[in-house]
Structure 1
Amino acid sequence: MLIRIRFLLFLLLITTGVVHAQSSEMGIFLGTATYKGEISNSLVNAKSLKPAVGILYRRNLNSHWAYRIGITYGTPNASDADSDDPYQQRRNLSFRSRTFDGHFLWEFNFLPYQIANNRTRFAPFIFGGLSVYRFNPQAELGDDWYNLQPLGTEGQGTTAYPDREKYKRLKVAIPFGGGFKFKLSRRFGMTVEAGARRLFTDYFDDVSTTYADKDILLAENGELSVILSDRSIDGQALNNTNRQRGNASDRDWYMFTGITINYSLSKKYNDNCTPFRGKLR
């Protein structure tokens, strides 16, 4: 019984220390969204930068560990016309995908840091966690944008390609990245970061496998599906049935890069307790 009491007291002391060491922040993210896949072979592509915005809540468990939840919106995009690859230029595909990304992330600061802590004004950090995102690849034709998933541009949903089901637009991803945190004032801080998302789909850009038979597409998915499945230029149609259109073995990625302005909801953090330093007032 005495051992149990001592153990419970030990847990109580640890829990109290963790709670006392915690502080909270709210943040607004402004940055860019980029993509890597069949139409762009790099996450760093200046030709396809698009704005991204987001909000987050961060809970600092102590000066090194924190978790955060947030939502980020961006429109990753790319075009074969921007590629130096002659095949991609002939293929002439392009897309954009309005993407909502909800995420839960763990953060680790390499230096002790909290906005409410006056000891450290700068810290590099890394993060990782889980994202749930909704995407919607679209292609432009004339002055209009068309949703690609319902069109089954690679034969999805047709009787000739029963193994190609229409992909879901709500997916899970693995986010990870890093950056730097800066204390700006007593209540404000700034974060500079880049965070990639490892996807479990190759249809973020609606390009993955081979060209479908255009007669099948026309009969079952309609004329618009045929037009948007093969955008090749100069009269050199690439739509030979079963010819490679994408690379199904290489999954897609997207990334958000930018700055976050954070506001500390905690007035003060005294870094005077070991191992969970500090007490909020």
Structure 2
Amino acid sequence: MLEGRIVKALSGFYYVKPHQVGEPLIQCRARGIFRKRETSPLVGDFVMVELSENGEGTVHEILPRTSELIRPPIANVNLAVLVFSLVEPKLNLQLLDKFLVHIEKVGLESIICFSKYDLFQDSKEKSIFLDKLIQYYETIGYPVLLTSKTTREGHEELLGYMANKTSVFSGQSGVGKSSLLNAIIPGLELETKQISSKLGRGKHTTRHVELIELSNGGIVADTPGFSSLDFTNIDQEDLGFYFKEFKQYIPDCKFRGCLHQQEPKCKIIEATNAGKISSKRYEHYLGFLDEISQMKRRY
């Protein structure tokens, strides 16, 4: 048996990098028993591999995971880098908050990266909006970076966050994830495409998940972009706990299991009315709550 880590999954094959330095990747299939257990190996998994005579292998055992994401499918990551463009496609804060909810549920550290800063049309109104936006997210506990592949702004700071961690890049398609990775990792040439003029969003240029080593000891996953997430695995009663700024107020709500909609003496509503919680974030919370409710009715 050989121990290693799955660094790529493609067309039913898993490519395992052994822990021994200098050993080549091993192309593997997974044991059929995983299907019976209704599980499957993920990129990022630490696994035990049984070698065959032809140099290929079989994933024999999946070692315990410290974290697991379903979309994108990856295991044992420490940091989520959420990349959202300021322009092309237009900044979608509702989708950003939806990503943050899912990252909070998994329990990962996360940072927000606003890309294409060089294309942002500077004006007083937009500068004020961006400053307030950054201040709010940083106040509730999310570091925010402004990046540009043209000016290289924010690249060194981003690499600093990623040192000695396994990071996953996620975000709306077309926001520049692959371009940003190409810019911060010398020699990397991931495919990139232009924004669709008809749809106003990008095409998916990454079709599988793959781990890429960094020179600072970090590992980063290039993952497919996607434009929507659902709340299949989140209950209405739990949603509030995945909004960081809600947590301090929830214990003081009058009713246990308060959904923070229109209940009397709800501390989330009071904090929102007092300007302590962003009205836009609270609006997104209510929208997500309704989405969960509609989903439960369908099931």
Higher helix proportion (structure 1 or 2): 2
Higher strand proportion (structure 1 or 2): 1
Larger RCO (alpha carbons 8 Å, 6+ apart): 1
State the TM-score, normalized to the length of structure 1: 0.24
State the TM-score, normalized to the length of structure 2: 0.23
CA radius of gyration, larger in: 1
